[in-house]
Structure 1
Amino acid sequence: MPDMIWTLRVSFLLFLAWLIFLVSPFVALYDLAKAVQARDTAKIEQRINFHAVRLSFSRQLLGEYLKSADGQDIGGIDRNAAASAGATVFDPYIEKLVTPQALMDLLQKGTSPQGPAGPAPDLQAFDLGTMNRETLRKAWDLFISSESQGFRTIVMPLPTDRPKDEQFRLTWRLSGTTWRLSGLDLPKALRDELIRRMPPPSG
């Protein structure tokens, strides 16, 4: 009997630890939402891996920029010149998009310094302080639509009620004991507009 009680206790503790781990990235999302709402730059910097997000933006924008050439030219620029633009022009352009203030505007309003307003990720929909049926529904939709990639990475599509090409995809990675935003895939319309506004290699 004592062995059974001990086994049940250990099983319960393991289940509790697993449950805490399961919900922890969503707690991180809530924490980020509150920081964005409060314009809390210090908290934003704790929750976002800016270097990783810059790489995420570079991958999306430069990749699509080059793909659009498809062996042709982009506004009179050939594909090789487009590739060289990454080192001379593209990085400074990305720097303006991935600052604490710029990401706060992007996550809260769907705007960026170099692009138009669009649908926002709707982080405030997960405000636990205003728990109601709608909040619970959105939280559940997010939970079932999120994609785990191993134990240390999870991708959350937002808003959950938008078509895929109108969603932001937030990639969270576990760093030590803290979930940090390490990737931010943009909706197609915003991505295309940012590519269109990218300065030419001639600067």
Structure 2
Amino acid sequence: MRWWCGLFALVLVWIGYALSPYVALYRLSEAVRTGDARAVADRVNFRTLRLSISRQAVAAGLDAVAARRDLSPRERQMLTDAVTGLTEPVVTALLMPETLVALLRGSWPRQLDGEQPEGEAADPVRTGGLSGRTLPQLLKLAGTAEMRGFRTVIFGYPPDAPEENRFRLRLRLRGWTWRVTELELPAELRERISRQLLRAQRRTETRRVR
């Protein structure tokens, strides 16, 4: 009898573990939907998320500049150092709890647009972010899950969007809590970051000339 009780308890633990990332995803999506920045912040590992966003921002900036001219290895290293410096304010702003909520909703935070160059309008806000309010929505999100070992799972959203237009949200289990450790941005938002960095670079060059 004890053997059966132990086996039953083990099965319950396994079921609880198997369901736990989906429960964490639901709670995160609810916090995003209601705009609860504090609850979102409690579910984020900001150190690893900063590294993830910074890496994508630097790559976006490098690609934008390198597309305009050929670069030697030395020039590329110098450009990498310069772009890294330019990305810091953008990344810091993106990781503020309020702006992070907007990003998880699938929108570029409008407060990051700043002043647009003359004749250039702000891009429209994306729709269809992280949403698991209803059971069908949650099941669609769950259907994108990619397990990486026992402690990491990746979700893609919006689940109906093409792969290149999806965010990829990585959750990692630490202790008893699943937290956001990485957020891979879709091509559209990486392009927006590259445009912001190019504008920042032009402003820096203009000040140097003056």
User: Aligned-pair distance for 1:122?
Assistant: 3.5
Instruction: State the distance in 2 between where 1:20 and 1:12 align.
Output: 12
For the pair 1:51 / 2:47, whether they are aligned, the reply is yes
Q: Which residue is 1:79 aligned to?
A: 76
- Within 5 Å, which residues of 2 pair with 1:1-203? 5-68=1-64, 69=66, 72=69, 79-108=76-105, 110-112=107-109, 113-114=111-112, 116=123, 117-123=125-131, 126-127=132-133, 135-198=134-197, 199-200=200-201, 203=204
- Structure 1 unaligned runs (5+)? 128-134
The answer to whether the Cα contact below 8 Å between 1:167 and 1:187 also exists between their aligned partners in 2 is: yes
CA–CA distance in 2 between the matches of 1:120 and 1:54?
23
1:107 CA displacement:
1.8
> Is 1:66–1:82's contact at 8 Å kept on the other side of the alignment?
yes
Which moves more between the two structures, 111-120 or 83-92? 111-120
Aligned to 2:118: none
Pairwise CA distance, 1:9? 2.3
State the alpha-carbon separation in 2 of the partners of residues 120 and 182 from structure 1.
21
Look up the SS of the partner of 2:101 in the other structure.
helix
Distance 1:201 1:84, change over 3 A: farther
Q: Report the CA distance shift for 1:141/1:41 in structure 2 as closer, same or farther (over 3 A).
A: closer
Counterpart CA distance in 1 for 2:9 and 2:36 is 35
**Which residue number in structure 1 is paired with residue 208 of structure 2?**
none
Contact 2:61 2:193 in 1 (8 A): no
Residues 149-186 of structure 1: CA deviation (Å, up to 9, x unaligned): 11111100011111101111111011211111111111
Please give the secondary structure, in 1, of the residue aligned with 2:127.
coil
TM-score (norm 1): 0.81
CA gap of 1:60–1:109, structure 2 versus 1, over 3 A, is closer
When residues 53 and 201 of structure 1 are mapped into structure 2, their CA distance, relative to the original with a 3 A threshold, is farther
- Asked if 2 retains the 8 angstrom alpha-carbon contact of 1:168 and 1:186, the reply is yes
CA deviations 1:39-59 (Å, max 9, x no partner) are 323222211112221111111
CA contact (8 A) 2:26 2:138 kept: no
Q: Percent identity?
A: 32
What is residue 132 of structure 1 aligned with on the other side?
A: none
Tell me the amino acid that sits aligned with residue 170 of structure 1.
L
> Residue in 2 aligned with 1:131?
none
In structure 2, relative to structure 1, the CA distance for the partners of 1:187 and 1:91 (3 Å cut) is: same
User: In structure 1, what is the Cα distance between the partners aligned to 2:26 and 2:145?
Assistant: 15
**Corresponding residue SS for 1:197:** helix
Shift of 1:109: 5.0
Q: Which runs of 5+ in 2 are unaligned?
A: 114-122, 205-210
> Does the C-alpha gap of structure 1 residues 202 and 85 become closer, same or farther in structure 2, counting only changes over 3 Å?
farther
